Structure 1
């Protein structure tokens, strides 16, 4: 098994369990203890996990800001992205929504649409609760207070049983090589489930996320159908993203 695939499986196990040990990973990866230790050391070095005696645990990056702090950043850009993205969602869609401030800006403009929204984020559900036309499905799970997202096996089970027209994914980083990423493995795993269950994957992110890499990889860019962003995106970055086949939609401020 190639190293990149082992890294992916290690992150998947951590996203599900929060902690792994070397012996367990030797079976999952079909690799030697020495190989597993080297892989864990490498992932620890780049900040993806925290090494422990005999294994590793997932970590929340110290750079992750609480939701109420993030919501104040690039407000006008997020509002514009929210309006533009909402206008593109067809009636009758089943839309999966991760948490995050940009996705929150989108759902504010979905309240009059006849759609179903599936979410693992309590703030998304509460924002839509007053709508008479939106049907809301909430995953359940273990709540992360910093992001208002629910994660863990309960959330996984719910999300894996639903088919989605569109997955709306909020991210903390978009990089040509590392794909889309966020701060915790649990949230990355939940977002990856949304992507797996969806016909189309729409990423919503303001220009400040471009070129950044957060600790936990959600998916490669090849999984993304559309990117909704603002005019602050670097023209070179935009061309590179479009060259992969992703439709880049710029929201007017």
Structure 2
């Protein structure tokens, strides 16, 4: 059931009465339908969908087609915990990914921990960086030769990123040379997938405007399937991973037309 700690009460105080009631209802019943809430609150279905979007961005529910469900344990892992996981592999991947960034590039970076680590390897270059990650923006803020464009939207606290329709609408006006992004799962049949719908929608929009796609995935992502599908594996131009991935997997990627690249340990 919903944990009404002081921190959660403070978070809920930023929402209107209807949105607070929706949060209580989804925690109690487990799931809600847009059509039912539209009738109950006497507002349009679009208004309810916007409520869901705002509440999901704060980690209070998960949207599904036609409704919303209660947040279960398997949700987006906060950045401090994600950053501590497989750190050696992520360092390898981040360093190798940065080697593909050239002066003059317009690159996009998602809100993953691997791209956050990647920032230290691209400092000193002359770039334009488009991102929805507050962490990436802060890391690059003092770089005089790097122009950072932070995509606006709702704050998703667990990933310290900006998501939602605002972000998606802004992205469509840009052009990107190279998009560096991670995911929750890489499966040869299911494709590339993500647990959080808002993150998935922002990434899909960035994928659509990018010339080259660089998927960054450590060994633990392979064989995993998550809720929201981002793209086919074959949509990626490069998949950068670590040395724990079997060589046969790299060969299979190459046979599919995806350049599989293994990061190297730093001395």
TM-score (norm 2): 0.73
CA contact (8 A) 2:250 2:261 kept: no
Quick check: 237-246 or 178-187, which moved more? 237-246
Equivalent in 88, 91, 116 of residue 76 of structure 1: 88
| Residues in 2 aligned to 1:191 and 1:58: alpha-carbon distance in whole angstroms | 22
Equivalent in 244, 247, 256 of residue 235 of structure 1: 247
Deviation at 1:222, TM superposition (A): 2.3
Deviation at 1:206, TM superposition (A): 1.0
1:216–1:161: structure 2 CA closer, same or farther, 3 Å change rule? same
| Residues in 2 aligned to 1:245 and 1:145: alpha-carbon distance in whole angstroms | 37
Deviation at 1:239, TM superposition (A): 2.2
Q: Which residue of 1 aligns with 2:167?
A: 155
Q: Which residue of 2 aligns with 1:176?
A: 188
Unaligned ranges ≥5, structure 1: 1-18, 23-47
| Residues in 1 aligned to 2:133 and 2:165: alpha-carbon distance in whole angstroms | 15
CA contact (8 A) 1:50 1:59 kept: no
Q: Which residue of 1 aligns with 2:17?
A: none
Quick check: 104-113 or 190-199, which moved more? 104-113
Higher relative contact order (CA 8 A, sep 6+): 1
Q: Which residue of 1 aligns with 2:26?
A: none
Quick check: 96-105 or 238-247, which moved more? 238-247
| Residues in 1 aligned to 2:215 and 2:142: alpha-carbon distance in whole angstroms | 25
Equivalent in 95, 105, 113 of residue 107 of structure 2: 95
| Residues in 2 aligned to 1:73 and 1:80: alpha-carbon distance in whole angstroms | 13
SS at match of 1:109: helix
Q: How does 1:119-130 map to 2 (within 5 A)?
A: 119-130=131-142
Q: How does 1:132-211 map to 2 (within 5 A)?
A: 132-211=144-223
Equivalent in 220, 223, 227 of residue 235 of structure 2: 223
Q: Which residue of 1 aligns with 2:45?
A: none
1:61–1:217: structure 2 CA closer, same or farther, 3 Å change rule? farther
| Residues in 2 aligned to 1:131 and 1:195: alpha-carbon distance in whole angstroms | 26
| Residues in 1 aligned to 2:165 and 2:226: alpha-carbon distance in whole angstroms | 23
CA contact (8 A) 1:60 1:184 kept: no
Quick check: 108-117 or 56-65, which moved more? 56-65
Could you list the per-position Cα deviations for residues 59-115 of structure 1 after superposition, in whole angstroms to 9, with x for gaps in the alignment?
A: 766323211101001111111111111111121110011111111111221111101
1:244–1:142: structure 2 CA closer, same or farther, 3 Å change rule? same
RMSD value, Cα: 2.2
| Residues in 1 aligned to 2:70 and 2:264: alpha-carbon distance in whole angstroms | 37
SS at match of 1:71: helix
CA contact (8 A) 1:164 1:198 kept: yes
CA contact (8 A) 2:251 2:260 kept: no
| Residues in 2 aligned to 1:164 and 1:61: alpha-carbon distance in whole angstroms | 35
CA contact (8 A) 1:156 1:190 kept: yes
Q: How many residues align?
A: 209
Q: Which residue of 1 aligns with 2:259?
A: 247
1:59–1:249: structure 2 CA closer, same or farther, 3 Å change rule? farther
Unaligned ranges ≥5, structure 2: 1-32, 37-61
